């Protein structure tokens, strides 16, 4: 059996975890803080649980420079996909609340609902799923497809981002949604979109971003967003919890009676941000063990990088650069999937293209890399190929080892 230290795991999620964090968590699962009980056995209403949540929230806010006077940090159950629905429920509710506060009557609101739009920028499988979920909940006529990168691509496939000049944004959309990093085809927004930036007077669209696969890896202009959400199991911890960073003015919800009168979906209590915020993420039994692990990951990051997320960004850029450079050195053997200007630093997707049997060549690549302890490199089942997910816990030495193998395989 291979030793843990001999393996560099490149899986897209659940992802590699820091060994020292797992060791500390394993001990806490048996006996937390010398209480004689494991962390998973303590009540989620206990002071132990409250302290774990509050510390994790404070450390996350510190690491990402989240202004806590303007934003709530919510820990929730389920994965990032659960937020596809939560965003619709909560932000359509916020849209109603804003119009009601501006003096709109119920009859005015009923008329406004007929033209309600939620904008979606589709750049891969995850944003496409979220777009379809909005159409399912509200009706397809209310989900506006701002752009579909397949339609602007010469291949007709995901792997690029439609130029902003070709986007069809709605002037008064309830929100604009995009996925910051698409794991399947390795597409990442290089920066916050220019056309979504707030204006000088502070006005602008409410922007929602799914950052499940690149959170904690680079600085974020938090105040440009209404909501940032992410599942924990790639850069933040283990599977089981999702985090939402929500602007506070978007949290109050209109009464269910009004939503029902307007013909809009009423969120299940589990997806109501206001209920979760009022209970400090403890509306129901949250997995405190999962929050504890995420908190330990944050503490490790904060102790490793005095300049916080900017330090991790430097390492992430370096790892991706090493691997992409190795692939580019052999254009006759490898084809990098996404366009160069949107290449993901987190999910490096490529194909082995040389040889009469490409499928056999990729199988050989996977077999030989696994023998060297480079595991989890198989591409997503929907597209195949090779995918190296260089999440935060993958060390720089691991990227160097993979790059060396990429070079050796090409030569052989």
List, as one string, the DSSP characters of 165-229.
GG----TT-S-EEEESEETTTTEE-SSS-GGGSPPTTS----EEEE-TTTTTSS---GGG-SEEE
Q: Which helix (H) or strand (E) holds 124?
A: none
pLDDT value at position 79? 82
**Which range among 210-224, 254-268, 297-311, 350-364 shows the weakest confidence by mean pLDDT?**
350-364
Specify the DSSP element, H or E, that contains 280. Answer: none
Contacts of 41 (CB under 8 A, 6+ apart): none
Instruction: For the chain, give percent helix, strand, coil, nearest 5.
Output: 40, 15, 45
Catalytically annotated residue among 119, 185, 210, 290: 210
Which of 234, 274, 290, 319 is the catalytic position?
234
pLDDT of residue 202: 84
How far apart are the C-alpha atoms of 71 and 68, rounded to whole Å?
5
Q: Which residue intervals of the chain bear CATH 3.40.640.10?
A: 47-300
Q: Where in the chain is the domain with CATH 3.90.1150.10?
A: 307-411
CB atoms within 10 A of CB 109: 19
User: Mean pLDDT over residues 356-370, rounded?
Assistant: 93
Question: What is the Cα–Cα distance from 139 to 174, expressed in whole angstroms?
Answer: 14
Contact 159, 153 (CB under 8 A): yes
Quick one: pLDDT at residue 20?
96
CATH code, residues 47-300:
3.40.640.10
Distance CA 390, CA 308 (A): 19
Half-sphere exposure of 339 (CA within 13 A, CB side): 19
From 57, 95, 117, 126, active-site residue: 126
Would you place residue 247 in the very low, low, confident or very high pLDDT band (cuts 50, 70, 90)? very high
Which contacts qualify for 48-57: CB closer than 8 Å, 24 or more apart? 48/288, 49/282, 49/286, 49/288, 50/280, 50/282, 52/288, 52/291, 52/292, 52/295, 53/280, 53/281, 53/282, 53/286, 53/288, 53/291, 54/280, 55/295, 56/291, 56/292, 56/294, 56/295, 56/298
Strand (E) or helix (H) holding 129: helix 125-138
pLDDT at position 1 is 67
Evaluate if pTM is beyond 0.85: yes
* 28-62 pLDDT, tens digit each: 999 999 999 999 999 999 999 999 999 999 999 99
Q: Are 306 and 296 contacting, i.e. CB atoms less than 8 angstroms apart?
A: no
Task: Provide CATH code, domain 307-411.
Answer: 3.90.1150.10
Q: Would you state the pLDDT for residue 400?
A: 98
Residue 126: active-site member: yes
**Catalytic-residue membership of 210:** yes
Q: Report yes or no: 346 and 330 within 8 Å, Cβ to Cβ.
A: no
| Averaged pLDDT for residues 273-282 | 95
Angle at 307 between CA 302 and CA 308, to 5 degrees: 40
If residue 48 lies in a helix (H) or strand (E), which one and from where to where? helix 47-64
With b meaning 16 or more CB within 10 Å and e meaning fewer, what string describes 218-244? bebebebbbbbbbbbbbbbbbbbbbbb
CB 303 within 8 A of CB 18: no
Mean pLDDT computed over every residue of the chain: 96
């Amino acid at each position: 059996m291979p030793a843990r230290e001999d393996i560099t795991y490149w899986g897209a999620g659940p992802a590699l975890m820091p060994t020292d964090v797992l060791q500390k968590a394993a001990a806490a699962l048996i006996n937390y803080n010398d209480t004689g009980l494991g962390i998973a056995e303590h009540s989620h209403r206990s002071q132990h649980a409250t302290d774990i949540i509050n510390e994790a929230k404070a450390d996350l806010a510190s690491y990402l420079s989240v202004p806590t006077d303007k934003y709530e940090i919510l820990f929730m159950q389920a994965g990032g996909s659960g937020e596809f629905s939560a965003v619709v429920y909560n932000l359509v509710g916020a849209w109603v609340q804003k119009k009601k506060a501006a003096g709109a009557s119920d009859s005015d609101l009923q008329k406004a609902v007929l033209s309600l739009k939620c904008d979606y920028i589709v750049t891969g499988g995850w944003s496409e799923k979220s777009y379809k979920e909005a159409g399912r909940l509200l009706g397809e006529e209310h989900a506006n497809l701002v752009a579909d990168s397949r339609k602007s691509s010469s291949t007709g496939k995901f792997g690029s981002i439609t130029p902003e000049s070709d986007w069809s944004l709605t002037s008064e959309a309830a929100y604009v949604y995009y996925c910051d990093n698409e794991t399947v085809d390795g597409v990442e927004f290089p920066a916050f979109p220019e056309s979504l930036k707030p204006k000088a007077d502070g006005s602008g669209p409410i922007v929602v971003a799914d950052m499940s696969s690149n959170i904690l890896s680079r600085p974020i202009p938090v105040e440009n967003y209404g909501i940032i959400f992410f599942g924990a199991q790639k850069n933040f911890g283990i599977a089981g919890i999702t985090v939402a960073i929500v602007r506070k003015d978007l949290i109050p919800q209109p009464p269910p009676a009004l939503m029902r009168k307007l013909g809009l979906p009423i969120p299940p209590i589990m997806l109501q941000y206001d209920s979760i915020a009022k209970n400090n993420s403890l509306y129901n039994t949250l997995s405190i063990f999962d929050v504890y692990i995420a908190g330990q990951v944050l503490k490790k990051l904060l102790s490793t990088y005095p300049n916080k997320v900017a330090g991790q960004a430097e390492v992430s850029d370096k790892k991706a650069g090493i691997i992409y450079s190795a692939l580019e050195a052999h254009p006759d053997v490898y084809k990098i999937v996404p366009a160069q200007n949107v290449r993901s630093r987190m999910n490096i997707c490529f194909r082995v293209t040389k040889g009469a049997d490409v499928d056999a060549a990729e199988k050989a690549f996977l077999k030989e890399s696994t023998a060297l302890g480079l595991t989890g490199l198989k591409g997503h089942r929907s597209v195949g190929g090779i995918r190296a997910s260089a999440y935060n816990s993958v060390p720089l030495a691991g990227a160097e080892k993979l790059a060396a193998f990429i070079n050796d395989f090409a030569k052989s």
